[in-house]
């Protein structure tokens, strides 16, 4: 992965995090992470995550709203929808909005 590809991936992941947290809409997230064009952001976002920002965020928020009883299914869903390179610790921190418990 080139430095530019890495930078793009980090920007898109940060924008996704901002939108899932409910802080901003897609256009505001694009500008906050450094995109000058909301349409370019949407194209690159869809290329990386497989869906346009608004649809993807609705899908993720729906997954996060599932009952606690289906937490395993929710985590599996998020593992598929989030960046493929993310591990369980990163996914846990998004799902629970906290740091994972220590495992010895």
Instruction: Pick the closest to residue 35 from 55, 59, 64, 8 (CA basis).
Output: 8
Two tokens, residue 49? 């995550």
Using the structure block, give the residue that is written with the tokens 């993807």.
Answer: 56
Number of neighbours of residue 92 by Cβ within 10 angstroms: 16
Two tokens, residue 8? 């793009």
Residue ranges covered by each domain of the chain: 3-96
pLDDT recorded at residue 40: 94
58-104 pLDDT, tens digit per residue, is: 888 887 766 554 556 666 666 556 555 555 555 556 555 555 455 44
Q: Indicate whether this model's pTM tops 0.75.
A: no
């Amino acid at each position: 992965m080139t430095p530019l590809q890495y930078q793009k991936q980090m920007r898109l992941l940060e924008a996704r995090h901002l939108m899932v947290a409910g802080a901003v809409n897609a256009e505001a997230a694009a500008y906050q992470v450094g995109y000058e064009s909301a349409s370019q952001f949407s194209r690159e976002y869809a290329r990386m995550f497989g869906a346009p920002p608004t649809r993807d965020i609705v899908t993720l928020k729906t997954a996060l709203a599932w009952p606690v009883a289906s937490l395993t299914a929710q985590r599996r869903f998020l593992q598929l929808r989030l960046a493929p390179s993310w591990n369980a610790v990163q996914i846990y921190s998004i799902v629970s909005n906290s740091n994972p418990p220590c495992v010895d």
